[in-house]
A and B are shown apart, each in its own frame.
Chain A
Amino acid sequence: MSEQINLLEKLRLGDEGALRQAYLEHRSAFLRWATAITNAQEQDLLDFYQETLIIFYQNLSMGKIQHLDRGVAPYLFGIGKKLLLNRWLRVTREISLDPTDVLFLQQIDIPSNDTIDEEWKITFKKAMALLNENCRRILEWFYYHDCSIEVICERMGYSSEEVTRVTKMRCLKKLREIISSVHIAGA
Chain B
Amino acid sequence: MDLNDAEILLIKNFLHKRMTPAEEQAFNARVDTDTEFRSEVDFYTNMFATLRDQERDRLKKMLEEVEQANFPKQSKRPTWGKWLAILLGLAVLAWFLFWRNTKATNEERFFVEYFKPYENTVQVITRSPQTNVEQAWQYYDQGKYALAAAQFSQMKATDKNADSEFFEAMALMAAGNTERAIPLFERMESDSLSHKYQQPARWYLALAFLRTGKLNDFKKMSEKVKATPNHFNADKMNALNEQMTGH
Contacts and interface: CB of A to CB of B under 8 A. Distances in A.
Nearest to B57: A54
Contact of B59 (A54, A64, A121, A128): A54
Chain A contact residues (Cβ within 8 angstroms of B): what range?
Answer: 20 to 34
Contacts of B50: 116, 120-121, 124-125
A20 interface: yes
Interface size class, chain B: 20 to 34
A23 B49 contact: no
Contacts of B17: 64, 109
A143 B59 contact: no
**Consensus secondary structure, chain B interface:** helix
Contacts of A46: 67
Contacts of A20: 62-63, 66
Contacts of B70: 24
Interface in A74-125: 109, 111, 114, 116-117, 120-121, 124-125
Contacts, number: 70
A111 B63 contact: no
Contacts of A16: 59, 62
A113 to B, nearest CB: 10
A43 to B, nearest CB: 9
B59 A124 contact: no
A108 B46 CA distance: 22
Contacts of B49: 114, 116, 121
A116 B51 CA distance: 12
